[in-house]
A and B are shown apart, each in its own frame.
Chain A
């Protein structure tokens, strides 16, 4: 099947006071229509920067796409001019952010912010059409009393309602791809469940592809077909979600899965840990970035940066020693 989105060798650099730091170091993935890809990683793994680069929303002028391509049905988004990219953003690829309070504009009503997508991408619509579309979008994302909500400001809504509004704005023009960057992290668990359920339903109805960025492996297991695990700016493992949870093929993934307490874990037992910390980007080792925390590390790991290699059908790992994982 032809891929909807192909990201090839993406590299992103941030220019800072202390010099340039490369935070995305060669990321490849692809996404087919209607599929859900999960990108999971801890803070500083480069997962959000990757999604911002795909959207061409890197903070300017610090964030620079150094290399690679982002192909949307063959068209390289990296090479598009800003006005050309504006036509794609919101219409073909949309994004939902973690914190709906900062992503929404506090001085405009919900209706104004929602109708903006239509005004930008569908100039042929009359104001009456726009209003009725806005109402039906709010209904679709499960907002009660949509007529009243259209005239309200973001601060008058609860966190869950704001995130529903964000989703309505993102989906207004029926994009092919929705990028959801930690959309439920700040929400309470029962509200999180509602939003996850909503995204799943809308995905089924609209047939869109979703890139789900999160640090929560539980969310990945609920939402995703395929998973890419990121560490220090690289994908270290890619697999079908069920297979990844069943038998991780990278020591980092395995460590991550084991250190989370689950409801089934015996109480007050010692949890497994990944010792040490995520390395600082400005002082990355030449070899494997996980080497200093890895239980399998040998001296060869320090010498040679490992490549993403096949580890079975449709799965890859960035660890040459994956066969030795217990």
Chain B
């Protein structure tokens, strides 16, 4: 395979928590805590996990919307975390982002035409006439009529607004687009339209996606590779089909079993369901972060942090962070 387009290495992002009268630092939220993965050109890597697992923060850190605390984000061999000013701006042309809520991510006071011309203006590209043509071309690409150019975001439905958001994200012909829950605010009949559009654009433009979502079926549909996150760490990463066929981490197994309608034979009250809730990232559990909820927990899990490494009996690129992967025994 070719060189990775994006290489995330041991990335950490810690938010300080301040409190008290003098606003001293009273704690640290370990939002992203040592994450590594690669994205190849034209590939989709899905990030799944529940709220608070750090998947959105990770997506934004990749684009340097947050400055990482530690680690590298290499895009075509250059460390995004160390670039500044004009260099960073130049590189950002190759990166795009699509947000979850198309109601909040578009400026209501600007026309759609203005919104779509803006990326070109910011990067000093084209004459006004050219920019207008390019913006109209973008509308056509995402399946909106040219008449949308002079209208305002509030005149559109959620699905159409998401199309506008996608048009803006692909305006500068990026190589990588971070999609942060792009369909979770949409109705199911609209959701499939947007997923089809994202897949079409990927084929047409050779885009790579980092696709962040909590819906495992959606993530599986669009992804080549999936990383499952729990409390700031990747607990399992594998080829999308392999992850579903043979999930090794108890958390991945639990996520799959929790999907409503996942199993026709056993109803949800007959399946084993994960107990408890995600602990606070302010004070993550020792050892394996999942040990407080894991039905297979052993003494070692409370003490030692498991490394993300090749799992037993699966493809070599199927990684899992569990001391007992492949030989899980119910906890005593």
Closest Cβ of chain A to B198, distance in Å, is: 10
Which of B192, B260, B269 touches A271 (beta carbons < 8 Å)? B192
B260 touches A219 (CB 8 A): yes
B51 on the A face (CB < 8 A): yes
On chain A, the residues within 8 Å of B190 by CB distance are 277
Known: A190-B50, A215-B187, A260-B217. A197 touches B274 (CB 8 A): no
On chain A, the residues within 8 Å of B157 by CB distance are 277
* B38-57 Cβ-contact flags toward A at 8 Å (1 or 0): 00000000000011000000
On chain B, the residues within 8 Å of A191 by CB distance are 50, 277
> Which B residue sits closest to A271, measured CB to CB?
B192
A267 touches B241 (CB 8 A): yes
A256 touches B189 (CB 8 A): yes
Interface of B: prevailing SS: helix
A270 touches B199 (CB 8 A): yes
On chain B, the residues within 8 Å of A200 by CB distance are 267-269
B188 touches A193 (CB 8 A): no
On chain A, the residues within 8 Å of B195 by CB distance are 261, 271
Which of B9-17, B220-228, B302-310, B314-322 interfaces with chain A? Answer: B220-228
Q: How many A-B residue pairs have CB under 8 A?
A: 122
A265 touches B221 (CB 8 A): yes
| B 212-267 contacts with A by CB, 8 A | 214, 216-218, 220-224, 240-241, 244, 254-262, 267
Known: A158-B277, A218-B262. A43 touches B187 (CB 8 A): yes
A173 on the B face (CB < 8 A): no
Known: A218-B259, A218-B262. A277 touches B159 (CB 8 A): yes
Q: Give the complex CA separation of A261 and B191 in angstroms.
A: 10
On chain B, the residues within 8 Å of A267 by CB distance are 220-224, 240-241
B260 touches A261 (CB 8 A): no
Which of B51, B189, B277 touches A255 (beta carbons < 8 Å)? B189
Q: Give the complex CA separation of A274 and B190 in angstroms.
A: 8
Which chain A residues have a beta carbon within 8 Å of chain B's beta carbons?
42-43, 158, 160-161, 188-194, 196-197, 200-201, 215-223, 255-256, 259-263, 265, 267-275, 277-278
> Which A residue sits closest to B219, measured CB to CB?
A261
On chain B, the residues within 8 Å of A272 by CB distance are 192
B204 on the A face (CB < 8 A): no
Closest Cβ of chain B to A22, distance in Å, is: 21
Known: A222-B267, A270-B199. A193 touches B273 (CB 8 A): yes
| B 193-213 contacts with A by CB, 8 A | 193, 195-196, 199
On chain B, the residues within 8 Å of A194 by CB distance are 273-275
B51, B157, B240, B261, most chain A CB atoms within 10 A: B261
Which of B189, B223, B260, B262 touches A274 (beta carbons < 8 Å)? B189
On chain A, the residues within 8 Å of B221 by CB distance are 261, 265, 267-269, 271
B261 touches A190 (CB 8 A): no
On chain A, the residues within 8 Å of B224 by CB distance are 267
On chain A, the residues within 8 Å of B218 by CB distance are 261
B241, B259, B268, most chain A CB atoms within 10 A: B268
Which of A189, A222, A256, A269 touches B214 (beta carbons < 8 Å)? A189
Q: Give the complex CA separation of A200 and B271 in angstroms.
A: 13
On chain A, the residues within 8 Å of B217 by CB distance are 260-263, 265
B50 touches A188 (CB 8 A): yes
Q: Give the complex CA separation of A268 and B198 in angstroms.
A: 10
Q: Give the complex CA separation of A273 and B143 in angstroms.
A: 14
Closest Cβ of chain B to A47, distance in Å, is: 12
A197 touches B268 (CB 8 A): yes
* B160-200 Cβ-contact flags toward A at 8 Å (1 or 0): 00000000000000000000000000011111110110010
Q: Give the complex CA separation of A221 and B268 in angstroms.
A: 10
Add 10 more A-B contacts to A42-B187, A197-B273, A263-B259 (CB < 8 A). A193-B273, A194-B275, A216-B260, A217-B188, A221-B260, A256-B188, A261-B195, A261-B218, A263-B216, A277-B159
27 A-B pairs whose Cβ atoms sit less than 8 Å apart in the complex: A158-B277, A188-B278, A189-B50, A189-B216, A190-B258, A192-B258, A193-B260, A193-B271, A194-B273, A196-B260, A196-B268, A197-B273, A200-B267, A215-B188, A220-B261, A221-B260, A259-B188, A260-B188, A263-B220, A263-B244, A267-B240, A267-B241, A270-B196, A271-B192, A271-B196, A273-B196, A274-B192
Closest Cβ of chain A to B41, distance in Å, is: 16
B220 touches A261 (CB 8 A): yes
Which of A42, A197, A219, A261 touches B261 (beta carbons < 8 Å)? A219
